[in-house]
């Protein structure tokens, strides 16, 4: 009988990408926190300030990079946790597909929201 | 019956990392990384839901900003910063040791990085509350 507990751990590409995105996040999250909270006089931006902030091209690039890094990092963490349940290979593939779709939707939502805000006319 | 035992074992196997009794420092560091990781994933999606208020314009966003400057929200900010620093610095240790760097001194590295995290949390807490 197949003992699933004795199977080799999941392929290490998940660990590799989580490490790469994790190192990237140390820089990107620090920039995100500084730009959003620590350089703003009262700690948080009101709506008009958010619109002005997001209309700066370099900020849009920075925010996109942040979202495109934090999302796979978070979902790879969820993947590692779920895989610890000792799933079958079929179930693992299904989890991979679900998390990929969730990741794409998350990034797409971030892009849509940024675009919506920058197009706001007061 | 066998299926039930197997399912129970799978659950136990997945959750056994959460049992910190009689664990060494390395396992505690692993548990700490998982707990902070789960918290940060939860925060990421909560953050995206909150940001959706921006799509509603100033009438939706600006009242929330007034609420977000309340002491209770600032405490949540500090908890977020704590999770970020602990997870980030501990994750850096995991990455380095995973690459074979500093494996023998990983306990000292953990203590050193967590000391930096505590100093960082205190400094950022001061910055958050001085602006709140």
CA B40 to CA B27: how far, in whole Å? 20
Q: Rounded mean pLDDT of chain A?
A: 87
* Tens-digit pLDDT profile for residues A50-75: 999 999 999 999 999 999 999 999 99
- pLDDT on residue A100: 97
CA B84 to CA B82: how far, in whole Å? 5
Q: What angle is formed at CA B30 by the lines to CA B28 and CA B35, rounded to 5 degrees?
A: 90
- pLDDT on residue B24: 77
Q: What percent of chain B has pLDDT over 90?
A: 54
Do A114 and B77 form a contact (C-beta atoms < 8 A)? Answer: no
pTM of the model: 0.83
- pLDDT on residue B8: 62
Domain residue extents for chain A: 13-118
The beta strand positions in A16-121, using DSSP E, are: none
Structure tokens that stand for B113 in this block: 């990085």
- pLDDT on residue B3: 58
Q: State yes or no: pLDDT of A41 exceeds 90.
A: no
What is the phi/psi pair of residue B66, to 5°? Answer: -60, -40
**Most distant CA pair in chain B, distance:** 60
* Tens-digit pLDDT profile for residues A4-13: 555 545 547 8
As a whole number, mean pLDDT of residues B123-128 equals 88
Q: Is the dihedral of CA B53, A121, A49, A111 positive or negative?
A: positive
Do B48 and A111 form a contact (C-beta atoms < 8 A)? Answer: no
As a whole number, mean pLDDT of residues B15-43 equals 82
As a whole number, mean pLDDT of residues B59-74 equals 90
B22-131 CATH fold: 3 helical TM bundles of succinate and fumarate reductases (1.20.1300)
What is the phi/psi pair of residue A95, to 5°? Answer: -60, -45
Suggest the residue from A54, A80, A86 to mutate for an interface test with chain B (most B CBs closer than 10 A).
A86
- pLDDT on residue B40: 96
Structure tokens that stand for A7 in this block: 């199977």
Structure tokens that stand for A74 in this block: 């978070």
A12-16, A62-66, B7-11, range with the lowest pLDDT = B7-11
Confidence check on the interface: ipTM exceeds 0.90, yes or no: no
Neighboring chain B residues of A73 at a CB cutoff of 8 Å: none
Chain B residues 35-64 within an 8 A CB cutoff of chain A: 37-38, 40-41, 44-45, 48, 51-52, 54-55, 57-58, 61-62
- Whether the CB of B22 is below 8 Å from some CB of chain A: the reply is no
A13-118 CATH fold: 3 helical TM bundles of succinate and fumarate reductases (1.20.1300)
Q: A86: nearest CA in chain B?
A: B10
Question: Which of B24, B125, B27, B129 shows the shortest CA–CA distance to B84?
Answer: B125
């Amino acid at each position: 009988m197949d003992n699933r507990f004795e199977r080799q751990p999941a392929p290490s590409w998940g660990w590799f990408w989580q490490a790469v995105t994790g190192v990237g996040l140390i820089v990107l999250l620090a920039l995100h926190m500084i730009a959003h909270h620590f350089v703003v006089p009262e700690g948080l931006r009101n709506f008009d300030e958010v619109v002005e902030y997001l209309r700066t091209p370099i900020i849009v690039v920075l925010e996109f990079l942040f979202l495109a890094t934090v999302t796979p990092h978070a979902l790879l963490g969820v993947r590692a946790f779920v895989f610890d349940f000792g799933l079958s290979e079929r179930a693992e593939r299904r989890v991979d597909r679900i998390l990929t779709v969730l990741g794409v939707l998350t990034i797409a939502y971030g892009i849509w929201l940024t675009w919506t805000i920058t197009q706001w006319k007061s | 019956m066998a299926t039930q035992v197997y399912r129970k074992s799978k659950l136990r196997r997945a959750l056994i990392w959460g049992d910190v009794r009689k664990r060494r420092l390395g396992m505690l560091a692993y548990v700490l990384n998982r707990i902070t990781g789960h918290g940060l994933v939860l925060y990421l999606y909560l953050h995206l839901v909150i940001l959706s208020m921006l799509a509603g314009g100033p009438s939706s966003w600006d009242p929330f900003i007034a609420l977000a400057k309340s002491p209770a929200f600032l405490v949540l900010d500090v908890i977020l910063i704590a999770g970020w620093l602990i997870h980030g610095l501990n994750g850096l240790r995991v990455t380095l040791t995973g690459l074979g760097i500093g494996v023998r001194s990983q306990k000292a590295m953990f203590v050193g990085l967590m000391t930096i995290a505590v100093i960082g949390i205190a400094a950022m807490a001061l910055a958050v509350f001085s602006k709140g």
